[in-house]
Amino acid sequence: MPQLVTVRVKRPDRRPIRVWVPVLPVVLLLAPIVVLVVLAAIVACLVFHIGVARALGTTWRVISALPGARFDIEQGRTAVLVSVR
């Protein structure tokens, strides 16, 4: 599971903004919403005849593969860099 997400925003003619977000405290704060999302996903799997265990397993594998990922988004002169550790 990812431990830290670093977000850096490069803005033209200004200092870049860098924010470090620890994942575990955010997940703990959002736990009630996460439970509701998982229940909604289970219902959606049953409605669309998708294996629940397979869908949840695939979701966990995607989340587990995130550490080391880096996302770079540029629009004009502004850039957002997201790094997952």
Cross-strand pairs, 82? 7, 71
Which pLDDT belongs to residue 1? 78
Q: What is the pLDDT of residue 2?
A: 86
Query: What are the domain boundaries of the chain?
Result: 4-84
Radius of gyration over every alpha carbon of the chain, rounded to an integer in angstroms: 17
Residue in 80, 71, 82 with CA at minimum distance from that of residue 16: 80
pLDDT for res 59: 93
For residue 35, what pLDDT is reported?
94
pLDDT tens profile 11-37 = 888 899 999 999 999 999 999 999 999
DSSP string, the chain: ---EEEEEEE-TTSPPEEEEEEHHHHHHHTHHHHHHHHHHHHHHHHHTT--HHHHHHHHHHHHHT-TT-EEEEEETTEEEEEEE-
Q: pLDDT tens digit string along 38-81?
A: 999 999 999 999 999 999 999 999 999 999 999 999 999 999 99
